[in-house]
Amino acid sequence: MSEKKRFRIGEAVVNVCSMSLPMAEAIVDIAGKALKDEMTEMDVATAIKRKLVERYSAHMWQVIVGRSFGAFGTHEEGHYLYFYLGQTGFCVYAA
């Protein structure tokens, strides 16, 4: 999927997506469950990364979760997602 800007997947507002829609939907679903189950942003990021490694083991995943952050990094083509669930931001990419 080419890079799209500002669309919705369920309750998530996706700012930047350069991955397939099914993969993006799966990541948003994993993030929503982790956000409900875990207490801290660090625990949420760890839970998301653990699930992504189980599901997509061919890639080395990086996950950043927070309310206010900036991120700069190099990612594999077609493996980047930046979205918000409520006021919490998520940056997920394969490095």
3-state SS class at 36: helix
Domain ranges of the chain: 4-94
Tell me the one-letter amino acid at 14.
Answer: V
pLDDT less than 50: residues of the chain: 1-2
Q: What is the pLDDT of residues 44-71, one digit of tens each?
A: 999 999 999 999 988 899 999 999 887 7
CA proximity to 83, closest of 39, 31, 33: 31
The answer to whether residues 41 and 66 touch, using CB atoms and an 8 Å cutoff, is: yes
Taking the CA atoms of residue 81, residue 85, residue 87 and residue 93 in that order, the dihedral angle to the nearest 10 degrees is -20
Which tokens is 51 given?
A: 């699930």
Q: Give CATH superfamily name and number for 4-94.
A: Protein Inhibitor Of Neuronal Nitric Oxide Synthase; (3.30.740.10)
Q: Report pTM.
A: 0.87
